[in-house]
A and B are shown apart, each in its own frame.
Chain A
Amino acid sequence: MVEFFHMGGYAAYVWPVYALGLLVPLALAVQSLADYRRQLRLAEALEREAGGRVRRAAHKPDTEQGL
């Protein structure tokens, strides 16, 4: 086990690589999902607030249906 963490003397290089390899994609995923949720909440809030009239005005074909 100790030998495994030692990585043949290259622990100082191998482990940071794996740490970054996990952290960078993880940070990207967290940021992407957070942004998605934020936009979803905003869109829902705006639709609720707007009610009927603006909703009709906002109905362009390309933004229609079950977003």
Chain B
Amino acid sequence: MSPMTSLSASQRLQAFANPARFMALSARLLAPLWVVSLGFLGVGLYYALFASPPDYQQGETVRIMYVHVPSAWLAMFGYSVMAMASAVALIFRHPLADLCAKSAAPIGAAFTFLALVTGALWGKPMWGAWWVWDARLTSVLILFFLYLGYMALWTAIEEPTRAARAAAVLALVGAINVPIIRYSVDWWNTLHQPASVFRMDGPTIAPEMLLPLALMAFGFTFLFVTLLLVRMRAEILRHRVRMLRLAQAAARAED
């Protein structure tokens, strides 16, 4: 290969993040990432279940927070990863960015689902109902719909490059709309605030509760990155399988 200095900026970017290099780099990163995420989660679980006190107001239900809040955080983190990767894909036309956005969606959706279900399980003892149309719950539900729509679009369009472009446009429109939706839901909620419902403005967090929360949040975040790499590697292989099949078909046609 010619020296790096003779390459244009965009070529250098290509070389920096080409799929082959990504495969080599991610292969080396995966083992440590698994260890770090499982380590954080293991220690976090110990603190969450055994080594932290019950809340003076919420009692033992506060332990639900250690799963619920990190999931909710990853629900939003996942969408940001998806939106940023989509922006990079549209601007720089980089194939890895498309794969990154595609791979982030199911992980984000899974954590959004987890946030919703654990929210319902927290709501029942706290609010006396499985589901309340609370501003936060409602916007997370809408976020879940956005994830589902994004994944549905990927599966609906057969040709991968076309699907990638369309999905990237959808993810970006979603990213512009998320704050608007969030604001409107908050606004709607203050308008309809039911007086009888116990309002939970997020427990003021004591330091002994912050530690398990931080450990679980780190663990989940590292797990997210690990799974993202695994899924991106699978996507690169899928692309390669497709290329090989096309080449095979072309070779057969020549015979």
Report B's interface with A, CB cutoff 8 A.
Answer: 18-20, 23-24, 45, 49-50, 54, 59-61, 63-64, 67-68, 71, 95, 106-107, 110-111, 113-114, 117-118, 121-122, 124-125, 220, 223, 227, 230-231, 233-234, 236-241, 243-248, 250-251
Contact = CB atoms under 8 A, between A and B. Distances in A.
Contacts of B60: 7-10, 14
Given A21-B71, A25-B110, A32-B227, A67 B20 contact: yes
Nearest to A11: B60
A64 B20 contact: yes
B237 A39 contact: yes
22 contacts: A4-B50, A13-B121, A17-B68, A18-B49, A18-B63, A18-B67, A21-B118, A29-B227, A32-B230, A39-B234, A43-B244, A46-B241, A46-B245, A50-B248, A57-B247, A57-B250, A57-B251, A58-B244, A60-B243, A62-B19, A63-B19, A67-B19
Given A18-B49, A20-B118, A67-B240, A50 B247 contact: yes
Contacts of A62: 18-20, 95
B64 A28 contact: no
Nearest to B23: A67
Contacts of A13: 61, 64, 121-122, 124-125
Interface residues of A, number: 41
A8 B231 contact: no
A8 to B, nearest CB: 4
Contacts, number: 129
B247 A10 contact: no
Contacts of B243: 58, 60, 63
B251 A14 contact: no
Nearest to B231: A32
A33 B125 CA distance: 37
Most-contacted residue by chain B among A8, A13, A29, A57 (CB, 10 A): A13
A54 B239 CA distance: 16
A4 B74 CA distance: 29
Contacts of A8: 54, 59-61
B231 A24 contact: no
Given A54-B248, A65-B20, 16 more contacts: A10-B60, A10-B125, A18-B45, A18-B63, A20-B114, A20-B118, A24-B110, A25-B223, A28-B110, A36-B230, A36-B233, A39-B241, A43-B237, A54-B251, A66-B20, A67-B236
Contacts of B45: 18
A57 to B, nearest CB: 4
Given A25-B110, A35-B231, A53 B240 contact: no
Contacts of A10: 59-61, 125
Contacts of A7: 60, 63
A21 B114 contact: yes
A54 B230 contact: no
Contacts of B68: 17
A26 B64 CA distance: 18
